[in-house]
Amino acid sequence: MKIATTSMNRRSFLKASALAGGGMVLSFSWLAGCKPTPEEVLEMPKEWFELNSYIKIGENGAVTLFSPNPEFGSNVKTSMPMILADELDVDWKNVFVEQADFYPERYERQFTGGSQGIRQGWKPLRTAGATARQMLINAAAQTWNVPAAEITTAAGVIHHKPSGKKAGYGEMASLAATLEVPEEVTLKEIKDFSIIGTSRKNVSGKEIVTGKPLFALDHKVEGMLVAMIVHPPAFGMKVKSFDATSVNSMPGIRDVFSFQVHKDDYEQNFFDTTTHPELVAIVGNSTWEVLQAKRQLKVDWEVAPERSFVMTGFGGNKSTVKVPAGLENTPGHLAKMEEFSKKPGNILRRDGNPEEAFKKAAKVLERTYTAPFLAHNCMEPVNCFAHVTADKAVIYGPTQAPESIMQALVHRLGLPKEKIQINLARMGGGFGQRAYGHHMVEAAVISQTVGAPVKMVYTREDDMTYGIYRPTYTATYRAALDEKGNLTAIHVKAGGIPETPIAPNRFPAGAVDNYLAEGWAIPSNITIGAFRAPRSNFIASAEQSFLDELAEEMGKDPIDFRLELLERAKTNPVGERNDYDPERYAGVLKLVREKSGWDSTPANTHRGVSAYFCHNSYVAEVVDTVIKDNQPVVESVYAAVDCGIVINPDAARNMGEGAVVDGIGNAFFGELTFDNGAPSKRNFDKYRMIRIGEAPKKIEVHFVENNEDPTGLGEPLFPPVFAAVANSLYKATGKRYYEQPFAPQLEMQNLRM
């Protein structure tokens, strides 16, 4: 039995009578998991009673659950309400779900990213549900004059078995909403869950497949104008001048002006990344008219000088960020990274005496891995609606991190945060890009300037060339072997533009007597940001490719070799800072071995394995590649995942399948290069994405069953697949793959994807 203290986040349980009567309803849908008949679907109640920030109950027993986090395809809008509903003990078919807007006084962490939504929401959501349930019980106890301890609930009905009395939640909701919030509540035992751990369909599924408006691009209001931005064609350039007269007379054009995204004295936070400080805005009546003007506008550009700004990072630490001048290019990046990789880096971890171990080694295996910049390429281009007046601002758009954007809006608009409302639109993809709020600031400034509601839309070319990319990286791994072929040391030195990808306390740290990790970084004016499983998406591919080759060098099965290292980390770990559980790590390797039939590989099938820990979860994957018509084809993928309790199994498998396909596509094709600061690929005619026919025919996602609290899921399946593909390709082609993307190298062998 778990007791939860509601005061851990008191504001989440404050009652707000303004919501009674159905206020703040952005959208709702009956949950399609049970496919109820029309007779089974409750009508909307005449009155709502709010029990806490997450829960409203109608007089007829209908329940509205607010999903606090933004939705971008990870299905938190279904899984979070499932947690609430289970602890509330309500019948799932009687539930409506609404997307909460940004209300920091009501919700603690409205951020979708880092695969932390369910992990960090697990206890608050359970506590919110259990608190509302206890308030309903207390209301029934008061009404019936019986002890609350004698009352039970089941599927939205309150029972007092000694007297035979019962009532639906709706009958007690009005009184319950007036009662004091209990200081402590009892949470369900895991064995008593009835909704958590069962598969439920996406609550927005019906709206999605029927094309109902869900996205900010769908949003329209009377008098709304359309805006587009014009940004420099290359990183390291800025606006010199522009000729507005070249487009002012074009049909539908209302205004053309330049503006600063942030004021000069603004101290940015981590998610305020802005590629170009000054932009040109074109505002008009329609998207087509503004697009034509954008193509005709004459702008002169010049090389930007070096600049710097103050950034407040996580934890409140401030630093000065310097943005170098110059027009960068890919050959120059590669040359610089090669130069830095040969220099001593910053020592991030040292166990034992690795230098001495390498000095005494009978053999040293050394390999270097590289990966390029990557663009996010969300299905929905950047966009945002804004209506800013003298005393109020309403912002509606796709964002993963509304709280991080608020401070920028306050400073730039000159309005207090109480006068700024951020409404959360469903995102057409996120992957990290939507955590950066420049688009919301841009739309708000444009609206404030023209004095009208504005929908700002990026073209695909704007979206792909604006920045916030996955960095380019390189890593060199070395392993020392003694005369008997035993592993004595591992050394990794990794860096990139403009950050290092190393997590120094992850596996294989802790499993080797002598271990050295070094990192370095090269400044750049190309803006980067979080990209699905930041840093892990590269270092996992390098590490797991190297371990595969090292296992072969030692004459060991790849899975057996990893299990040996993990056994060492479990029974006799090196160091005290290892941030993984070797037993859980080994568990996913054992499960994927079983589910893939690793020990009995089918004929003409070439298998690669990989495993990685990130975002508090463990994943192992096996990729099967076959050769068809002289082409390598990734035919099957098996994944084993330990992410604790799985809220919605079908949705979790779907998310895992998506991560696998995403990883395979980026491993084969993902690449963005630069020529004099300009991205070489501006749209999908050049930037190659995986196609439907190239996705594996079979993907199996298996979960370790345990009672651990939930951890990350949206990102952890992404990093391991790169190396699993590379290791599988080696078995299929006889060639190791050290540079991403792999497809160009396969074409050189006349093995085309």
Compute CA distances 223 → 27, 285, 385, 444, 448, whole Å.
Answer: 23, 9, 12, 16, 14
> Which of the residue ranges 26-30, 121-125, 138-142, 646-650 would you say has the lowest mean pLDDT?
26-30
Would you give the distance in Å from CA 398 to the centre of its chain? 13
- What is the arrangement of strands in the sheet containing 165-168, beginning at the earlier edge strand? 151-154, 157-160, 165-168
- Please report the domains of the chain, with CATH numbers, ordered by start residue: 2-205 (3.30.365.10), 216-308+382-457 (3.30.365.10), 538-748 (3.30.365.10)
Q: In this predicted structure, what is the pLDDT of residue 749? A: 55
Tell me how far apart the alpha carbons of residues 529 and 520 are, in angstroms, rounded to a whole number.
17
Q: In this predicted structure, what is the pLDDT of residue 27? A: 23
Q: Averaged over 260-266, what is the pLDDT? A: 94
Q: In this predicted structure, what is the pLDDT of residue 704? A: 98
Q: In this predicted structure, what is the pLDDT of residue 317? A: 86
- Those residues with Cβ within 8 angstroms of residue 567's Cβ, 6 or more apart along the chain or in another chain: 582, 586
* Position 414 confidence tier, pLDDT thresholds 50, 70, 90: very high
Q: In this predicted structure, what is the pLDDT of residue 10? A: 36
pLDDT digits (tens, 9 = 90+) for 566-594: 999 999 999 989 999 999 999 999 999 99
> Which of the residue ranges 49-63, 366-380, 508-522, 602-616 would you say has the lowest mean pLDDT?
49-63
496: helix, strand or coil: strand
pLDDT digits (tens, 9 = 90+) for 277-316: 999 999 999 999 999 999 999 999 999 999 998 888 877 8
Percent of the chain residues topping a pLDDT of 70: 94
**Residue from 1, 3, 6 nearest 124 by CA:** 6
Q: In this predicted structure, what is the pLDDT of residue 16? A: 34
E-only strand ranges, 220-277: 225-230, 237-243, 253-260, 268-269
3-state secondary structure 332-367: HHHHHHHHHHCCCCEEEEEECCHHHHHHHCCEEEEE
Tell whether the model's pLDDT for residue 36 goes beyond 60.
no
Given a contact cutoff of 8 angstroms between Cβ atoms, the answer to whether 102 and 401 are in contact is no
DSSP 450-488: HTS-EEEE--HHHHHHS--BBPEEEEEEEEEE-TTS-EE
Tell whether the model's pLDDT for residue 79 goes beyond 60.
yes
pLDDT digits (tens, 9 = 90+) for 193-208: 999 999 999 999 999 9
* Position 8 confidence tier, pLDDT thresholds 50, 70, 90: very low
Give the alpha-carbon dihedral of 285, 287, 290, 291, to 10 degrees: -170
- What is the arrangement of strands in the sheet containing 393-397, beginning at the earlier edge strand? 253-260, 278-284, 225-230, 454-457, 383-388, 393-397, 420-424
Q: In this predicted structure, what is the pLDDT of residue 83? A: 97
pTM of the model: 0.92
Tell whether the model's pLDDT for residue 41 goes beyond 50.
no
279: helix, strand or coil: strand
> Which of the residue ranges 135-149, 169-183, 253-267, 739-753 would you say has the lowest mean pLDDT?
739-753
> Which of the residue ranges 46-60, 176-190, 226-240, 402-416 would you say has the lowest mean pLDDT?
46-60
Q: In this predicted structure, what is the pLDDT of residue 1? A: 62
Backbone dihedral angles phi then psi of residue 510, each to the nearest 5 degrees: 90, -10
Tell me how far apart the alpha carbons of residues 254 and 100 are, in angstroms, rounded to a whole number.
34
Q: In this predicted structure, what is the pLDDT of residue 731? A: 97
- How many Cβ atoms from other residues are within 10 Å of residue 603's Cβ? 5
Quote the Cα angle for 500-337-366, to 5°: 85
pLDDT digits (tens, 9 = 90+) for 19-29: 333 322 212 22
Q: In this predicted structure, what is the pLDDT of residue 6? A: 66
Which residues, in sequence order, are bridge partners of residue 157? 154, 168
* Position 688 confidence tier, pLDDT thresholds 50, 70, 90: very high
- Those residues with Cβ within 8 angstroms of residue 12's Cβ, 6 or more apart along the chain or in another chain: 52, 53, 54, 106, 107, 108, 124, 127, 128
